[in-house]
Structure 1
Amino acid sequence: MTENKAEETALGSTKIDFSMMEDAVGYRLRRAQLAVFQHFNETFAAKGLRPTDFAVLLLLTRNQGSKQSEVAEALGIQRANFVAIVDGLEHKGFVERRKSDLDRRVQSLYITDAGLAYLNELMPIWQEHEGRLLAQLGGPEARDQLIGLLKKLYD
């Protein structure tokens, strides 16, 4: 099935001409992002995990004590939305907020032992997810090339 046919099927019986968008970078990036997130969500559905939750836990493994605002910025999440994400992870016992020693108004984030144990459970699932993407791209060289190109777009 061609990509246009897949898009037509996804939209029902309506025949939409996508030919003007076939080479649009933004359109292709968005479609790729949707496909990757759909697979991630299907892969992690049984664990009740969203991509942003996973990203926060993964980031905190190497950045214990980072300011809540720094983590939000690093992940490109608005602060107001990030508070709800951290609330959920804190409620599950995976993340802990602590007042900064330097500025009591600042919240620092720490992954808990329960969060680390949970993340360790998730790593093989994530590696399988990444392996599937790598296979679709054609191997490590293609992944490295894609990552290099994507970095050029946002660095």
Structure 2
Amino acid sequence: MPELTLEEMVPNTSKLDFSGMEDAVGYRLRRAQLAVFQHFNEAFSSKGLRPTDFAVLLLLTDNQGAKQSEVAEALGIQRANFVAIVDGLENKGFIERRKSETDRRVQSLYMTPAGETYLEELMPIWADHEQWVLDQLGGVAERDTVNRLLRRLYD
């Protein structure tokens, strides 16, 4: 697969000179993030779902009863912002907060049956989205390399 230039990736209708940014990794990462989020939003538009909401639901499938603060930290979301996310998912009936059995001050999160059903509906859409991302990267063979390199930036 031939490598695209920055100008091919970013349509330049204003005729700006991008040559100073051609090899800027941070800029390319940001543009890649925007492209992936745009595709996600288009794929999930009929479901009215944001990437963060999906991440919470997906994480809770294998972490029933996780502390609200643990989930926020695991996803890199500030606690104040996370409360609004949980409120929205709870109002839709997809998750519920419960007081921890060991520490009544702590809120634990659980998927509801409606949340589990909703997530099942979302999984084929997510699989298609993931395949689109992999196709942009050159296929499944590149996934491990890309994930390994990206992990270095935040681990």
User: TM tier, shorter chain?
Assistant: over 0.9
RMSD: 1.4
Judged with a 3 Å threshold, the aligned counterparts in structure 2 of structure 1 residues 150 and 89 are, in CA distance, closer, same or farther, namely same
| Structure 2 spans left out of the alignment, 5+ residues | none
Match of 2:72 in 1: 72
Shift of 1:2: 5.5
Q: How does 1:67-106 map to 2 (within 5 A)?
A: 67-106=67-106
Shift of 1:145: 0.5
Q: How does 1:2-151 map to 2 (within 5 A)?
A: 3-4=6-7, 7-9=10-12, 13-151=13-151
TM-score using structure 2 length: 0.93
Percent of aligned pairs with the same amino acid? 73
Count matched residues: 152
Q: Residue deviations 1:28-65, cap 9 Å, x none?
A: 11000000000000000000000000000000000000
| Structure 1 spans left out of the alignment, 5+ residues | none
Give the distance between the partners of 2:102 and 2:59, measured in 1 at CA: 22
Residue pair 1:8, 1:15 contacting (<8 A) in 2 also: no
Give the distance between the partners of 1:102 and 1:125, measured in 2 at CA: 38
| Higher mean C-alpha displacement, 34-43 vs 21-30 | 21-30
Residue pair 1:61, 1:111 contacting (<8 A) in 2 also: yes
Amino acid at match of 1:124: P
Shift of 1:93: 0.2
Residue pair 2:58, 2:119 contacting (<8 A) in 1 also: yes
Amino acid at match of 1:93: G
TM-score using structure 1 length: 0.93
| Higher mean C-alpha displacement, 13-22 vs 108-117 | 13-22
